[in-house]
Structures are given as structure tokens and as C-alpha cells.
Amino acid sequence: MTVAFWCVLIACLLPNMTAWVCGYFRGKQFGKIDNKHPRAQYAQLEGPGARAFAAQQNAWEALPVFTAAVVIAHLAGVDPAKSAIAAEVFIVARVLYPIFYIANKDALRSLVFIVGLGACISLFVMAA
């Protein structure tokens, strides 16, 4: 399996890891986690908890774009070393994204979002 494919696996795990962070904030804000109605509880989060939930949603939204970019680059025969670099840049950006989001560092959050998107675009361009 290529490095880029391993990065897809990591990208698949990132929304779940962010969900665990959301669980922490749910417990902190509400005193317990409502597992019967988690979405209703998520909707009531405020501050860092709300931002953690938004970061989780964004991680799910970014996943199909990144997955498609990696698969298309692979099918197009892009050099695995080059696709690995782009995939690793994406993962670093996506790890930093929720950190900056939760910390309310909007400019840094936007910057790493653009870097991650740029990594995906670069995979598509390499495949062209």
C-alpha cells in the first residue's frame, strides 16, 4: 500500500478523533454525554465544543475530496513519491485544522484549510 493510501486511512480516522474531542466538551458542558440523542446535544454546544463539532463536520466534508484525489492520482500513474508528499501535506493540514478551530484561531484555521485544499488540487493536477 502506498503512503498516499495510508494517508487516506488516517484521513478516515480524523473525524472520529475529533468526535472524541467533542465528547469531552459535551461532558464538560452538560455533565454527561447523551448517547440517545447525541445530535441534539451537539446542536446545543457552545464555545470550543461547538467549534470542535464544526471541525468534525468539516473533516467529513474534506474526506471525499481527498480520497478522490488520491485514487485519481494513483489511477493516472502519478509518481507515488510525489503523491505521498501531497497526501502528507494534506494530513498535516487536517491535523492542525481542528486544533486551530477549537482554539478559535480563525486565520490559522483558514490557512491550513487552504493548504489542505491545495494539496488535493495538486493531486488532481499531477493526474492531468
CB 51 within 8 A of CB 99: no
Q: What is the pTM of this model?
A: 0.94
Secondary-structure class of domain 3-127 per CATH: mainly alpha
Identity at 25, one-letter amino acid code: F
Where do the domains of the chain lie?
A: 3-127
pLDDT tens track, the chain, 128 positions: 899 999 999 999 999 999 999 999 999 999 999 999 999 999 999 999 999 999 999 999 999 999 999 999 999 999 999 999 999 999 999 999 999 999 999 999 999 999 999 999 999 999 99
